[in-house]
Amino acid sequence: MSSRVLLSLAAAIAATACAGDPASQAEPVKEDISIARFDWFEYRGDDPAFRDPPGPGGYLNPVLAGFYPDPSVTQADDGFYLVTSTFGYFPGIPVMYSRDLVNWQQVGNVIDRSGMLDFDDLGLSRGVFAPTIEYHQGTFYVANTCVDCGGNFIVTSEDPAGPWSDPVWLPEVGGIDPSLFFDTDGKVWLMNNDAPEGGSTYEGHRAIWIREIDPETFQPVSEPVMIIDGGVRPEDKPIWIEGPHIYKLDGWYYLSAAEGGTAIDHSQVVLRSKSITGPYTAHEKNPILTQRDLSADRPNPITSVGHADLVQDAAGDWWATFLGVRPYEGDHYNTGRETFLMPVAWKDGWPVITETGEEVPYSSKTRPAGFEPLTEVTPLSGNFVLREEFEGDALPLHWMTLRVPESPWWSLPDGALEIEARPVSIGSGKQPSYLGRRQQHQNAEVTTSLTFAPDRPGSEAGIAVLQNDNHFYALGLGKAADGSAIITLRRKAGGEAPEGGEEIARDMLTPYPDTSLQLRIQARGDVYDFAYRPDESDEWTTIARGLDGKPLSTRTAGGFVGATFGLYAEAMPR
């Protein structure tokens, strides 16, 4: 798998003469454009909840920290594969590989070519929602929705690292959250969320539908059947039934779905039937997973859990992957919705993930029975330090940009990342010169070394923490008309702020530094600090400290994404 991890997807850009995965080496940028050179990038995460490791026989939650929501998992011949949502980020839908359901390594991205999907002019929380992955007879299948960009589709690949096929669109299937089930009789079924028969009668009133599809064309071959209307207790007017999965065990079809919306009332419910098209009977002790019944003032809470997918480990025991969040205050969290893991107990013929009043644990002393675990993986859980030296032919696959590049604007020459300063702001709602990675800890620090000598005023390069187009901080280096260096901190926190944000702090350096400049952002829960120093200096100059981090939270900014730390270059006069 290691060769797959280091695969340069910008080679695909060159092959297709279009933009591809930003986690790759692109063609050299133009000589007449200002170029920002980043020699290294370091991420540090240190959350108190992760400081007590469980020992070799256990594991820490979340198993994928940071913005990895809506996990779906499947078992293949050589281990387990998992996909998560990426919405308007590109490349889209990371493919994660594990031998033990605990240690994960990204091996590819499903949406890695510009011709696959079009995210132009989409809000960052549109795009690809809640992918599901299945493995069947040597082929991997991902069913997904491109919200506001085409609807439901299916892609396939014999190699989970890619390339994946072009989307096969499902024009007859509305709604969101398509999911596949391969029955033992050879039939293939597709479930999805859509409006109930006769239309919704209240806000959040949805239904789960099922239909048989052709295994080659994926088009429906039967009429859709509504198998859940509203939720497991329709009389209570439940909201947002979604994310359906079907499992077959001991002659029963088990239908599991998320219910209650993806905030603090989120949950997972289960029903069963002897026939795949129902009628389905709900488990009397639903929900089988939630944290909404716990005290809101408990320490280090994990909340909003749901959107689960079940899988068996190497010993045949059942486990659930699901999303949850780790707020630092109330429902404020900047790390996005993350991927958690818990065992599934079967009681009286029903699966149970959490009992009433049971907390999802940060630390578990037992772990799944797996294949031989991966030994060399990029850390994705617990506290860690990760330094990018930009020495390979490709960036690690977790780097992303906003929307889909139309042409390459980055390269990896001589052990550095070079980014072209283009006239597109990171707050423009377009496709800026921005490469980001997820904020995975409440307490995090990112640092980089930047060399940038623009030939004209108006260009800027630096480091940013971004939640969406309307909520970010950007710490950048530019040049004034007199040749001085301008170090600027900009903020955009919604409202009527200008496209590129408002300047909230500025320092001048005269003369312009002839060495690299280091830039740093520190997250401390709900506050952020910003600093810089010349490469040869031991002392940081703080340009701003204790700035409000809540505009970077999903609760404030809205939508479904988490914050990312990124490197950017702009030539947008402000």
Show the tokens assigned to 396. 């690690």
Residue 309 a catalytic site member: no
The residue whose two tokens read 């219910």 is 259
Q: Which two tokens stand for residue 50?
A: 């992760």
Among the listed residues 21, 39, 47, 70, the single catalytic one is: 70
Q: In what order do the strands lie in the sheet with 72-76?
A: 72-76, 79-83, 92-98, 104-111
CA atoms within 13 A on the CB side of 126: 16
Q: Which two tokens stand for residue 107?
A: 């091996």
**Residue among 39, 242, 338, 445 flagged as catalytic:** 242
Please give the Cα distance from 319 to 102 (Å, whole number): 11
The CA-based diameter of the chain, rounded to the nearest angstrom, is: 78
- Residue 513 CA: distances (Å) to CA of 486, 495, 540: 10, 36, 15
Buried b / exposed e over 489-525, threshold 16 CB at 10 Å, is bbbbbeeeeebbbeeeeeeebeebbeebbbbbbbbeb
**3-class DSSP string for 348-394:** CCEEECCCCCCCCCCEECCCCCCCCCCCCCCCCCCCEEEEECCCCCC
Is 393 within 8 Å of 25 (Cβ atoms)? yes
Task: Round to whole Å and give the CA distance between 6 and 135.
Answer: 24
Distance in angstroms between the alpha carbons of the first and the last residue of the chain:
46
194 tagged catalytic: no
State the DSSP string of 518-541. Answer: EEEEEEETTEEEEEEEETT-SSPE
Contact 292, 282 (CB under 8 A): no
Asked whether the beta carbons of 315 and 75 are under 8 A apart, the reply is no
What tokens were used for 277? 């098209």
Closest CA to 110 of 9, 180, 214, 191: 9
Neighbours of 171 (CB within 10 A): 11
Q: How far is CA 240 from CA 84, 286, 514, in A?
A: 19, 16, 56
Positions annotated as catalytic residues are 70, 242
